[in-house]
Amino acid sequence: MVDKTSGRILCTKGCEGKRNDFRLLKDSRVCFRKGTCILLDSGYQGVQAIYSNALTPKKKPKGGTLTKQEKRYNRMLSAVRVFVENVIGWLKRFHIITDRYRNRRKRFGLRFNLIAGIYNYELQ
């Protein structure tokens, strides 16, 4: 989770094996303030049932097309989310989330939080 105004990484969450982004969000039990706008990618389809202030891109229906208004909405959302994607790209430089983690599982969270701390420190 990244704060748009400060650019800081607020919290991280990892799990063993492959897990859907939306399921990981539900399992983490993160609480958002009422006035907070949550920008998510298409991996979080259906999150509006839990968080009414969440924005996700519109998916193209099977055999159909998106309207111009829906395409404009998706473009606007991705233009705002590019900041978060750049943070994720910066974290991938350390290869802890791109490659298979082969060290002790207990230390994954600690090491990932240290990398996030390095990123936050570099912002100062």
Q: What's the whole-model pTM score? A: 0.75
Among all chains, which residue has been given the structure tokens 């650019």?
7
Phi, psi of 59 (to 5 degrees): -95, 145
Give residue-wise pLDDT tens across range 64-106: 999 999 999 999 999 999 988 899 889 888 887 777 777 777 7
Give residue-wise pLDDT tens across range 22-54: 888 888 888 888 888 889 988 888 888 888 889
Q: Half-sphere exposure of residue 32, counting CA atoms within 13 Å on the CB side?
A: 18
Q: What is the structure's pLDDT at 73? A: 95
Residue 9: count of CB within 10 angstroms of its CB = 23
Average pLDDT of the segment spanning 104-110: 81
Q: What is the structure's pLDDT at 13? A: 77
Q: What is the structure's pLDDT at 51? A: 86
- In degrees, rounded to 5, the angle at the alpha carbon of residue 93 between the alpha carbons of residues 13 and 98 is 55
State how far the Cα of 107 lies from the Cα of 77, in Å rounded to an integer. Answer: 35
Q: In angstroms, what CA-CA distances link 35 with 38, 39, 117?
A: 10, 13, 27
State how far the Cα of 87 lies from the Cα of 20, in Å rounded to an integer. Answer: 20
